[in-house]
Amino acid sequence: MRVSSLDQRPETQLHDLRQMAVQRGYEIVQEYTDRISGVKTRRPGLDQMMADARRGRFDIVLVWASDRIARSVKHFLEVLDELNRLNIEFVSFREQIDTGGPLGRAIVVIIGAIAELERNLIVERVRAGMRRAKLEGRSIGRPALVLDREAILRDRQSGHSLGQIARAHRISRATVHKIVHSEMASERGIQKGCQKPAA
């Protein structure tokens, strides 16, 4: 269930869904409610429901209406696709969608095909944009990161922490670690190369 604001109440949705569960002989495992806009993809109730779905806590999700899950088609398709992959039926009270029946499964296939088409169109648009940028002589992707390796190594030898160096040079700790680690590895290689063979 979801309502868009704190002053709205989900009791109507709750009544209809409980009645539907009783009529169909379903056991209610958990009720999830959000008091937040459906535009937001991160919502406590929905997030908890999906986490429980991944743990296999239930077989069927009942919603009062499809837009209670999400307002955007893209987000709705993502949720429906994941539920389908987890073999969890999706039942909508208002639209009378039930993915447990043959028509419902057909709807999921159609929705999946539309989602795949959308993804392919996005990929094609990105490729077309990259081709156009190349033809216009523009560089593609992020500019190469210019690092002052010697200054980073000097800072490390002076006793600065990885975090301090990262902040000072405006790079990630992982990048600092990589530079320091590769320098240590190359020094070990040089030392090995200078060792005289045992007599």
Q: Of the residues 4, 72, 182, 186, which is catalytic?
A: 4
Q: Is 182 an annotated catalytic residue?
A: no
Based on C-alpha coordinates, what's the Rg of the chain?
Answer: 28
Residue found by looking up tokens 């190349």 in the block = 134
Distance between CA atoms of 108 and 104, rounded to whole angstroms? Answer: 6
Contact between residue 48 and residue 38 where contact means Cβ atoms under 8 Å apart: no
Distance between CA atoms of 112 and 2, rounded to whole angstroms? Answer: 24
Other CB atoms within a 10 A radius of the CB of residue 162 amount to 18
User: How is residue 42 written in tokens?
Assistant: 């991160």
Distance between CA atoms of 125 and 41, rounded to whole angstroms? Answer: 24
Give the catalytic positions in this structure.
4
